Every structure is written in structure tokens, then in C-alpha cells.
Amino acid sequence: MKDLERALKRAGGRRYDDQAERAARRVAAEAAEHGLVDVTFTSMDSPVGPIMVAATRRGLVKIAFGRFADPESFVAQLSTLSPRVLEAPGYFDAIRKELDEYFEGKRTRFDLPLDWSLTGGFGRRVLRHTARIPYGKVSTYREIAALAGSPRGARAAGNALGANPIPIVVPCHRVLHTGGGLGGYGGGLDKKRFLLELEGAIEQPLPASS
């Protein structure tokens, strides 16, 4: 364990050639597996642009894309969970595989364990009910608010969905305005429309709001 800790310290803050980079990735993966870090993260490409992904030992804790995918601000948000944060690309093979399958139209349900630590209260209830919306289906802010225990809380439900720390996997893109308009989306309405079209949930363009 001490040898691994020393190797981890030597790996920090340097640039590597290919061989050293692979070694650094192995060290990072081993550090995560041995509990030397609490939060790991990486970046990956996707049809909706670069994505930042983070996980704890409990499961997937955060996904960011669009204007939220800035690495520095992403890591700063992760530090609210723990100061022991490490980039570990090799730790995310399973998550990367499921996301790739989803974007290729081969996966309609994620099997990833989730860590809800960045949510709480009414917002967590909203997101848990949102996570149950089936692939290819949609709900509304009003319906989700009612399921979460606040029938008049559509606006609050919208705020909770806008702050969803695990978009795509917790499919807040499947929640629309009551009249059928797209509503809002933290990653941008173009991405919300793309995801809904990918899933076959909409067959023609919807207005941005209703």
C-alpha cells in the first residue's frame, strides 16, 4: 500500500509519453480500487460533445456536458464530496461502454449503480422518479412534481431537473412542458432534442416552450 501511495504522488502533475501515460493510468486505477481516493473522474467524447464523468465507490455521481464540461469547475464541484479526487480514465470502462451503447442505439436502459450524494430532499425525489421514465417515453414537469409529493411544484421540479447532476443516465431530457414544448435543459435545448430523437420519443420538431 505504501508503494502505491508513493507511486501515486510521483504521478501527479506531470506530462507523460505513451508508455509513462499508461503506467500513470494503471496507478490511478489501482489507487481507486484500493480506496486511496474517494472520487475519480475522466473525460470522454460523445455525439453531444465532450463529457466529464465522475464516480465514487457507491457509483456514478456526476456527468457534465455542454457549458458545464469545464474540467476545472467540474473538479471543484467534486471537491465538495471529498478532497481525495483523482483522474482515472481506466476506472470508467464499464460506464464508457454503456454510454457508447446508448448513443449507438443499442442500449435502452442503464445498469450503472448511482451515487445520489449531490442531490437531496424534493430534488432527489424528483430525480428518482425521473430515472423511472422508460426509454422512448416522456413525462411533464407537473406529473413529476406530483409523483415527488408536490402537485403544484412544477416550477420547483423544473429547477431540480435543471440541476440534475447525472443527466442522460437520469433522463431529465424526457421531461417536457405540460403542453408538449421542450421546456428547458441544462445542456442546451439542441442536446435535449437530440436525445429525444435518438430514443424515438419525438418524431417532429417541438417548440422550445409552451
Q: Does the pLDDT of residue 187 top 90, yes or no?
A: no
Domain 35-103 = CATH 3.30.160.70: yes
> What's the whole-number average pLDDT of the chain?
85
Distance CA 118, CA 33 (A): 22
Q: Is this structure's pTM higher than 0.85?
A: no
Matching CATH number, 121-198, of 1.10.10.10, 3.60.15.10, 1.10.260.40, 3.40.50.300:
1.10.10.10
pLDDT in tens, 42-52: 999 999 999 99
C-alpha angle with apex 148: 144 to 150, nearest 5 degrees? 90
pLDDT for the residue 8 = 46
Domain boundaries, the chain: 35-103, 121-198
pLDDT for the residue 103 = 97
Distance CA 84, CA 17 (A): 25
Of the pLDDT bands very low, low, confident and very high (cuts 50, 70, 90), residue 28 is low
Return the active site residues.
Answer: 172
Query: What's the Cα-to-Cα distance from 106 to each of 7, 17, 102, rounded to whole Å?
Result: 39, 35, 6
Distance CA 166, CA 116 (A): 9
